[in-house]
Amino acid sequence: MEPSQDQNILLTLPLLPIPASSINLIDIILPPLLIGLALVIFDIQAAKTLSPKTQKNSHLFVNKTVHARFLPSPSNHRFKYDIVQFGVDLDHLESHLLDIPHLFRFHNGTHDHHHQTSCQILVPSTWINLIQIFSISPSSYFKTKTESIKQALFDQLETQFMIEDVDSKIGKVYLLSMPTYLGYTTINPLSIYFCYQKSDTLKNPPLKYVVLDVQNTFDERHSYLLTIGVNETPLPNSLEFDHQWVIPRAFHVSPFNDRTGTYQISLSDPFATQSGNNNTINLNFKIVFFTSKGEKKFFADLKGEGIPFTSQNLIKIWIKYPLILFMTSLKIIYQSFKLHICAPRLNVYPKPDPIFDEEYSSKGYNPVQKNGVVGGTAWQDLDWRSRLSRKIVVDYLTERVNQIAVQKKPYSRSKSSRGTDIDSFADQRDDSNEKVDDGLSEEEEEESKEVKLITVILKPTDPSQEPIIISPTVEDTQTTGGDKENLTIWYSSNSFYTDLLLYPNPSISQLINDRSEHNWKVSSVDLYDRVFESPYGPQDRTIPIRAGRIDKLLRKFMNKIRSFYFNWLLSFLTSADKNLPQLSKRSSYFPPPHFIPIHERFHADSNPLDPTLHIRSSLMVLSVLVSLVSEQLVAYFLFRFVFRFRFVHGYQPWFVLRRSVLKFNHVPLDKGDAGLGSVREPSSSSST
């Protein structure tokens, strides 16, 4: 008997009682999001309640800040805005007592949930745990290896401000700062550390130190230390503030101000108003900026009430101010645009390198106020060009100190060892027949020619970077046990490495960046010249015979790029500059042994740092040179012709060679600011 046709029919029903054609993207995405949101809300509700002590020592602020500019008087400007800041006890923060699932977390290496195994990454709850609205991490404040903000602060107080035995003097540290929001760390213009005396008996220990950590838009930081009862200035009859100091400026914050002048800082202990069961505190902070002549130039204050650090208050702030932490950078840029383009018409000071030396702090084209404290906390990170340049420089120095160590007797370099005939520069006296007494006896002169071991120390003044010590590894009977010399080079930014490759030779780079711009400093110019001299001797600056065609071609390109760049910088010397009495009768822009012709184009020889017979390293140098020169040309075009930015005349970044020429020819640089530290453009004309 054959089965009927109906018995062979398989009935199927759809899993979803809706046709597939009606399902859209929202139907696919929305359910997982709602499930995740439900889990997040559940985690927040199930979170532990912060203890009363924790709530009393950590707070949430929506502060009001007002900024007002008074000088130059035609550039009066005023604005105000709200700012969200967290005030946290660092001990509670770093013990994770303030952590609230998905609302707030302290990120460090040991408790960071980002470190997950490959299996955990596939679990949905792992991704839900990554959802974090607010957070704070040590890397946002100190570029050190420590995972503790408090310990990094203590290290800074000991090494930078020379406070001994900090652990026994400071107990509670209260940090007021802007948090990271949805993974985005905005500019933190001011973070304040209130450091309280360490005490086991006092319930409310007194305030002992205040550290102001200032950050600019270039991700650089500078710290100012205020000590209670030390160098305080008298307060007017006012109940508004408890303490006041006047401190010299030393950090580039605004592009419309130089680094001179003083700050008058007024503040109160935020916990002085807290009493009983009242967990709220009041913040009261004011800063007044005076010029070097004592005129009031700028004012800013910060006021607000701190409410307890709870999940309910966190949610309220998030809902009420969902975008405020994203807007800080935009507000700064917008106000800068108004100051430059609109009625105030303030000209721009380019960013100077951070100060690194008390002697050099008063030199250069943008010096700091007298007695300004060297207090850099964080500098700009190394970019790929600085990393490659550092490798080239370190490799060269490693080879060079070993080469010097095995030399039987070094060649003696003449005054014109740069391979050029040099005209008299300092004056026009004919002293060719005059015998110069160097003050050395014959025995001392022979001893000075003996080979000495040289150690080169590259010392960045960025506290997050370690010094690089380059010592000879070659032992030789002629040098072992002999005298040793150290060449120390302090530098204020990582452009030190790129400058050594960019300029025609290291000697000219040192002349410009050490003696004129004061961006770095060498312990001995003679030792520097000896170390960075060509390893082939002063008379043999040509390419070795063994070098291949590709190597020669790369060197040729590198020299052409350097020649083009150097002549481009020289082009900003006007005919009026060349006709100055100090220059009109000379053939060289710089004193011996640096011959830079005035009346003809400059041609660069091979830089001794250029790798020989290493095509890969030569390509690295070539890529760095092309990138650096292209960047400066593009920046010049954009600033000069597209955005039409107006720099303070003489301070333009591409005037670096002009400033050096004028300096070494004793021509003063006209600042044109009448001691105000700011320059207003009176007309619509723009500077080069």
How far is the first Cα of the chain from the last one, in angstroms, to the nearest whole number?
104
pLDDT digits (tens, 9 = 90+) for 285-324: 999 999 999 999 999 999 999 999 998 899 899 989 988 9
Mean pLDDT of all residues in 382-405: 93
The two tokens of residue 263 are: 């700050």
pLDDT computed for residue 563 by the predictor: 96
pLDDT at 385 over 50: yes
pLDDT computed for residue 415 by the predictor: 38
The two tokens of residue 348 are: 């721009």
Mean pLDDT of all residues in 357-374: 83
φ, ψ at 443 (rounded to 5°): -65, -40
SS3 assignment for 67-115: EEECCCHHHCEEEEEEEEEEEEEHHHHHCCCCCECCCEEECCCCCCCCC
The two tokens of residue 465 are: 């970077």
The pTM of this model reads 0.84
pLDDT digits (tens, 9 = 90+) for 563-615: 999 999 999 999 999 999 988 888 999 988 888 999 899 999 889 999 876 88
Tell me which of 320-329, 403-412, 424-433 is least confident. 424-433
pLDDT digits (tens, 9 = 90+) for 60-103: 999 999 999 999 999 999 999 999 999 999 999 999 999 988 88
Mean pLDDT of all residues in 271-276: 76
Of 505, 488, 500, the C-alpha closest to 590 is: 505
Amino acid letter, 655? F
pLDDT at 113 over 70: no
pLDDT computed for residue 683 by the predictor: 58
The residues facing 172 across adjacent strands are none
Q: How distant, in Å, are the alpha carbons of 217, 250, 339, 602 from that of 373?
A: 21, 6, 29, 40
Q: Give the Cα separation of 57 and 62 in Å (integer).
A: 17
- Tokens 């990170």 label which residue? 381
Please state whether 294 falls in left (phi above 0), alpha (psi between -120 and 50) or beta.
Answer: left
Of 164 and 147, which is predicted with more confidence? 164
Of 604, 33, 81, the C-alpha closest to 325 is: 81
Of 261 and 373, which is predicted with more confidence? 261
pLDDT computed for residue 412 by the predictor: 42
pLDDT digits (tens, 9 = 90+) for 144-156: 778 899 999 999 9
Tell me which of 107-111, 521-525, 658-662 is least confident. 107-111
pLDDT computed for residue 537 by the predictor: 45
The pLDDT-based confidence of 275 (bands split at 50, 70, 90) is low
pLDDT at 125 over 60: no
pLDDT computed for residue 409 by the predictor: 46
pLDDT computed for residue 406 by the predictor: 82
Of 583, 44, 63, the C-alpha closest to 314 is: 44
Q: Give the Cα separation of 267 and 301 in Å (integer).
A: 10
pLDDT computed for residue 170 by the predictor: 97
The pLDDT-based confidence of 417 (bands split at 50, 70, 90) is very low
pLDDT digits (tens, 9 = 90+) for 213-266: 999 988 899 999 999 999 999 988 777 899 999 999 999 999 999 999 999 999
**Is the bond into 593 cis (omega within 30 degrees of 0)?**
yes
pLDDT at 526 over 60: yes
CA 163 vs. chain centroid, Å, equals 24
pLDDT at 195 over 90: yes
DSSP annotation of 220: -
pLDDT at 686 over 60: no
φ, ψ at 456 (rounded to 5°): -100, 130
pLDDT at 343 over 60: yes
> Would you say 498 and 623 are in contact if contact means Cβ atoms under 8 Å apart?
no
The pLDDT-based confidence of 346 (bands split at 50, 70, 90) is very high
pLDDT digits (tens, 9 = 90+) for 31-62: 666 665 665 565 555 556 778 888 889 999 99
Beta strands in 424-479 (DSSP E): 453-460, 468-470
Q: How distant, in Å, are the alpha carbons of 401, 562, 592, 616, 634 from that of 565?
A: 30, 5, 22, 23, 13
pLDDT computed for residue 539 by the predictor: 41
Q: What is the mean pLDDT of the chain?
A: 83
Mean pLDDT of all residues in 473-490: 72
- Tokens 């050029």 label which residue? 420
In degrees, rounded to 5, the angle at the alpha carbon of residue 130 between the alpha carbons of residues 127 and 134 is: 155
The two tokens of residue 137 are: 């991490």
pLDDT at 373 over 80: no
